[in-house]
Structure formats: C-alpha cells, structure tokens
Amino acid sequence: MKEERGMPIAIIRNLVKTYGSKGFQTKVLKGIDLTIYKHDFIALMGPSGSGKTTLLNILSTIDQPTQGTVALDGQDLAQMSNKELSKLRRNKIGFIFQDYNLLDTMTLQDNIALPLILNGVSSQACIQKVETLASVFGLSGHLKKYPYQLSGGQKQRGAACRALITEPEILFADEPTGALDSKSGRDLLECLKMVNANGQATIFMVTHDPFCASYANDVYMLSDGIITCKLSKGAERKEFYDRIMDLQASMGGNGS
C-alpha cells in the first residue's frame, strides 16, 4: 500500500512540544508519529488547544520541537542550518493562511509571481506559470487587478496560486476557508482538490470545519496533544462528511 502512495514527504517520530519554563511547563504535543506521502491530502482536526497549529508550525519549520524528529523531503530539520532551512521554505514549502497576506501595492499577477521573481526566474516564465495556475483557480480575468479590487474568495485563491507557483513538495494550509463565505470556501476547496488529484500538490490542512475537512482524503483527529484516530474517504464526500461529523460529536466538541 505504501508503494502506491509514493515517497514520504514528511516523517514525524515521537514529536513532543513543551512550552514554559521548568516547573510551569505545558506539554502541547505528546509524542506524535505521522508520515505524509507524496500526493496525500490530509486534514488535521481537533478541539481548540489540542495542538493543531503547533504541529503545523513545527512541520512547516516555523517552530521547533522539544524532542523527537521531523524529516522533510528526506532532510532532518534539526540538522539543518538557518540558511538551509530558509532555502527549504523557499523551494519546497507553500503556505496558505487564513488571512491572504497579499501585498496591496502589487497586482494579483505580481503577487502570485513574487516567489518566482525572488528566485530570479525570467519575466516570461513567471507570466506563463501565473497564467496557467490562474486558469485553474478561475482568476484569469483578474490578474491585472489589485487586492482591494478583489473579493475575499478571489484573494484567497490568489494566495493559493502564490503558494503553488514554486511547485512545492508540500502545501500547508492553516484554516484556509476561515475568513470566507460558504461559496467562496467551497470554490477554494474544489480548486485545491483538483490540483491534488492532478498530482500537483501534497496538502496538509488544519481546519475546525468538517465540511472543509471532507475535501481531504484522510482526516486525523488530534486531542490533548495526541492523534486519537484517522478517517479515510470512501467513494462519496457527503458520506465522509457525515462520518467526520459523527466522530466529532462522539469526541464531545465542535473542533473549533
């Protein structure tokens, strides 16, 4: 089965994260083991304070574990220099956050192309890649607009294009639909599902929303610092959504 899923992108073993000083410590993550394979689409859910964002931050090199190992694209993050980590973030990792983080003084086209521009890619190659992604995300007619001229959904789809423009090994999405209305959120999720199904993205998404999570292929539940269970999608997204809702109800929380 593992061979069918492709190569591991991220391998996490015995991951522990503790905050605070001696005598006043809070253990947020309590020994996480997780492997993310190429082309996976994973949603991580759990109650507030369960450690979802902490795990995402450690995986995406924003934070460091207290103990345990994290290997990304075959490299142990603890053994990498700041310069090497910076290069890994730039070339191997994409981010989508709840707020769009687009630059107001740049057009949508330039916002999407920015990672390539910073990497010294030619203007012609940048424009070609931007136009290709924009067509997938329904933004072809908006590339010359500035962020203030765009809807929230258009801005977030633009942020997703910017995250994918460097063809990262893995895309991290932190509550990507949290600031969107239901239709805009659904449009974004359909696009993410499409690029994942086409083999263009491995996605690790943190969400409190069962509807959002139902677009993933696997859902992991995090509770009190440990992964308590995993659900895998069957044939129908609606049936998967119902199972996620049932599990969430059995855990006694809404996952917010």
| CA–CA gap between residue 10 and residue 60 (Å, rounded) | 10
Q: Please provide residue 17's backbone torsions phi and psi, each rounded to the nearest 5 degrees.
A: -135, 125
Estimate to the nearest angstrom the gap between the alpha carbon of 192 and the chain centroid.
10
How crowded is the C-beta side of 44, counted as CA atoms within 13 Å?
27
The tens-digit pLDDT sequence of the chain (256 residues) is 333 567 899 999 999 999 988 778 889 999 999 999 999 999 999 888 889 999 999 999 999 999 999 999 889 999 999 999 998 988 899 999 888 889 999 999 999 999 999 889 999 999 999 999 999 999 999 999 999 999 999 999 999 999 999 999 999 999 999 889 999 999 999 999 999 999 889 999 999 999 999 999 999 999 999 999 999 998 889 999 999 999 888 876 554 4
Element holding 52 (H helix, E strand): helix 52-59
Q: What is the DSSP letter of 255?
A: -
Residue corresponding to tokens 């053994």: 79
**Cβ-contact 72, 13 below 8 angstroms:** no
Helices within 140-181 (DSSP H only): 152-164
Q: What is the pLDDT, as a whole number, of residue 252? A: 67
Q: What is the pLDDT, as a whole number, of residue 91? A: 87
3-state helix, strand, coil in the chain (%, to 5): 40, 25, 35
**Cβ-contact 12, 68 below 8 angstroms:** yes
How crowded is the C-beta side of 6, counted as CA atoms within 13 Å?
13
**Cβ-contact 179, 152 below 8 angstroms:** yes
| CA–CA gap between residue 35 and residue 214 (Å, rounded) | 20
User: In a 3-state reduction of DSSP, which class is residue 147?
Assistant: helix
**Cβ-contact 236, 74 below 8 angstroms:** no
Cα 184 to Cα 22, 188, 198: the distances in Å are 45, 6, 21
